[in-house]
Amino acid sequence: MKTIFVEKCNKNTTASKYILNIFPNLNRSILFKALRNKDIKLNEHRISKDVFVNINDKLDIYIADELLYNLPKKLDIIYEDDNILVVYKPQGILSNDNNNKNNEPTLEKLVKNYYNEAKICHRLDRNTGGLLIFAKNDNSYNELLIAFKNEYINKKYIAYVNNCCFKSKHEILKGYIYTDKVKGISKIYDKKDEKSKNLTNLKEIITEYKVIYENKLKDYAVLEVTIHTGKTHQIRSHLNFISHALIGDSKYGKNEVNKKFKVYKQLLFAYSYSFNFPNSSILNYLNNVTITLDDKYYNNKLGSDIYYGNRN
């Protein structure tokens, strides 16, 4: 059971609308079944139909966490050895407890149900899907933290973007990124100039993309993106800067585009990791390994008839 209090609403806000705003992964049919079964209380009274809510109203929701958050029924393990574990993270689920204000389930907590000693080594945005790496012991954890910091790990993503008119089918973008930690948003500058020179945490970024599929009729493209620097929201903000915003991105994308495609989680998937550990590292055996997500997880997200999973 979850208890929430209505903080912001207008006179036309219903209980279902407010609950779905707090739990965006909750299936509407499950919510309305709970209403019919009187599994939702408004101010201590069970309700059997949708009603309007007001600020400070109390909602008690008797729906299991796995349904509220649409949690995977089991771990989807993509790769495992004695030192590391690579798990698929679905869109909409938090990677770990950072910024977990509502104490909701996370993929890290789910992993620890099966691997108590596992430690998460990096994170993906809530609405980004794909591969997450966990360490199975302290030595590999320390090695992976060093690897991410020193860019020993080559990370590739699949991105669905609006606008299929590209300057080039393959481009290495260079620029600078400024992250406003208070507002939780990043801004791109193509060079250091009068506008950006006084920003203390301005950092250089390199983002590479290749167009692997275009749909001119629907005006979207699918990209393979390689980040040569790993900064907060780098892909999302950098692609938006060149007028190719991610479809479904509520922060950097366009609402009219998201409505057009009826997609409200950014179509971005971490799909491939390869490694370049120093010879002295205990994980240098991974230099001969490329961990790749099966294309069934990200292919055909907008209903195209073209299969573009195999890029080699």
> What pTM does this model have?
0.86
Q: Is 141 helix (H, G, I), strand (E, B) or coil?
A: helix
pLDDT in tens, the chain (312 residues): 899 999 988 889 999 999 998 888 899 999 999 999 999 999 999 999 999 999 999 999 999 988 998 888 889 999 999 999 999 999 999 998 776 666 788 999 999 999 999 999 999 999 999 999 999 999 999 999 999 999 999 999 999 999 999 989 999 999 999 988 888 899 999 887 767 767 778 899 999 999 999 999 999 999 999 999 988 899 999 999 999 999 999 999 999 999 999 998 999 999 999 999 999 999 999 999 999 999 999 998 998 766 666 555
* Residue 297 to residue 62: CA distance in whole angstroms: 31
Cβ-contact 222, 232 below 8 angstroms: no
Which CATH code, of 3.40.50.720, 3.30.2350.10, 2.40.30.10, 3.40.50.300, is assigned to 158-269? 3.30.2350.10
Domain map of the chain by residue range? 2-68, 158-269
Looking at residue 192, what is its pLDDT?
Answer: 76
Q: Which CATH architecture has domain 2-68?
A: Roll (3.10)
Of 154, 178, 284, give the one whose Cα is nearest residue 226: 154
Distances (CA, A) of 242 to 194, 209, 234: 21, 12, 12
Query: What are the DSSP E strand ranges found in the chain?
Result: 2-5, 40-42, 45-47, 58-61, 77-80, 84-89, 119-120, 129-135, 153-162, 170-180, 185-189, 203-215, 220-227, 268-275, 290-292
- Distance, in Å, from the CA atom of 143 to the CA atom of 147, rounded to the nearest integer, reads 6
Name 80's bridge partners: 85
Alpha helices by DSSP H, listed for the chain, are: 15-22, 28-36, 65-68, 107-114, 138-150, 234-241, 255-261
Which residues is 177 bridged to in the sheet? 188, 203
